[in-house]
Amino acid sequence: MNLNNRVLPAAAFCALLGVISLPAQAQTTGKPLMAEDVFKNVQALRGIPVNQFMETMGFFSAALGYNCTNCHGNDVLGNWEKYADETPVKRTARRMILVVNAINKTQFGGREAVTCYTCHRSSPSPKTIPSLVEQYTEPPADDPNEVEITARAPKIPTADDILNRYIDAIGGAQKVAALTSYTGTGRYDGFDSYHGKVPVDLYAKVTGEHSIVTHTQNGDSVTVTNGKTAWIMGPDKPMSVLELVPGGDLDGVKLDAALAFPGTLKKTLTDIKTGFPATLIDDRPVSVIQGMIGGSKVKLYFDKETGLLTRMYRLSHTVIGSVPVQIDYSDYHEVAGVKIPFQWKNTWTDGQSSYIFEAMTPNVAIDAAKFARPVPPAKPVVKPVQ
């Protein structure tokens, strides 16, 4: 049973429709904004950055098996401002936020022991009666994303061994160190391209600068960092350019930049460790390491046979729970003697997208402007939703 498949594309679809009308604050000020600075009717989730606020909406959708309109009503389709309207379901959801906070505070010492997902499990109606069917059928295969470090797991290979083996597998430390920049071109598909294939450009430097530009039908969508600050810009976003404040999204952008040059991983991740029980991805045994980037926990999965990275799984912490993000890597090709994945499949609570690169050019000079704050188009081009 996978209710997520049923609901998530709808959640993403709903977010996309926000392009048609942006809030007045769409003009950016250059300073990170809190949810209540941008949205009109924020009562429970105040004091959190806009991007984290949007992550909580993805979390709600995933936790209840809902899309945006189930809570916000159909009027939001095509009108971003309508999200501020009160609806009975929205009021229930807000009350539930208070209930969950109170349970955690009074019963679990403030620990995030209970979230919406604890009860809802991707359904609007939590169950009260144990299922006999579930009790007597084979449980689904273990989810590799859920493996945790245990004392009983073998101590060898160490996290260092796994990372060293990865560097060897992609070409060896010398070649890895000699690759200092690359650009890539390929095709992207996701909810913001209506799942059609649109061109994507990648720019990456070993200094931590990283940029991905997808040329969607409605305009460019950009995720970029100059190594310190990061911005997202896109026609489907509530604001034209959003500077990411410290938190899950910023950690994610920095992690992508580090993964582009695996030689930098050991210094980018902190608290790197291993000790996971045996687990599989697509029936292949994988070695798992865990680390932290900023405040986000990251797990990296390496194919035991090839040593190559096959999955990144990251938890973005929000005030209502942790939002999972997964990227699966495949189709490795040599770029200046270093194996780089040409296919990435991103999966998160708001949808799935894929990147298929056709060409990568190593060690090229890249204009610093590619890593600077993106400049929004003078007039957003908005095509009607098909």
Site residues, ligand HEC (CB under 6 A): 11, 14-15, 39-45, 57-58, 60-61, 64, 66, 68, 70-72, 83-84, 89-90, 92-94, 96-97, 100, 114, 116, 118-120, 124-126, 320, 350
Q: How far is CA 223 from CA 107, 213, 334, 376, in A?
A: 40, 7, 25, 13
Whole-number minimum distance, CB 348 to ligand HEC, in Å? 11
Smallest distance, ligand HEC to C-beta of residue 143, A: 21
- Residue number, 80 or 302, with CB nearest to ligand HEC: 80
**Residues 106, 110, 113, CA angle at the centre, nearest 5°?**
95
Q: Which of 178, 177, 197 is nearest to 188 (CA)?
A: 197
**Shortest distance (Å) from residue 166 CB to ligand HEC:** 35
Could you check whether the bond before residue 157 is cis, i.e. omega within 30 degrees of 0? yes
Closer residue to ligand HEC (CB): 71 or 200: 71
Tell which residue, 248, 292, 286, 287, has the closest CA to residue 266. 292
Of 91 and 273, which CB lies nearer to ligand HEC in the complex structure? 91
| Closer residue to ligand HEC (CB): 201 or 249 | 249
The rounded distance, in Å, linking the Cα atoms of 215 and 198 is 6
Q: Sign (positive/negative) of CA torsion 172, 364, 205, 340?
A: negative
Q: Toward ligand HEC, which CB reaches closer, 310 or 347? A: 347
Q: Which is nearer to ligand HEC, 75 or 168 (CB)?
A: 75
Least Cβ distance, residue 35 to ligand HEC (angstroms): 7
Q: How far is the CB of 71 from ligand HEC (least distance, A)?
A: 3
Q: Choose among 3, 90, 11: nearest CA to 55.
A: 11
Non-local (6+) Cβ contacts of 344 within 8 A are 327, 328, 329, 354, 355
Please, what is the minimum distance in Å from the beta carbon of residue 366 to ligand HEC? 34
What's the burial of 235, exposed, middle or buried (CB within 10 Å: 0-12/13-18/19+)? buried
Cβ proximity to ligand HEC: between 44 and 382 the closer is: 44
Minimum gap (Å) between residue 88 Cβ and ligand HEC: 8
Closest to 221 measured CA to CA, from 26, 377, 3, 59? 377
Q: Which is nearer to ligand HEC, 337 or 380 (CB)?
A: 380
- Closest approach of ligand HEC to the CB of residue 106, in Å: 13
Burial (0-12, 13-18, 19+ Cβ within 10 Å), 329: buried
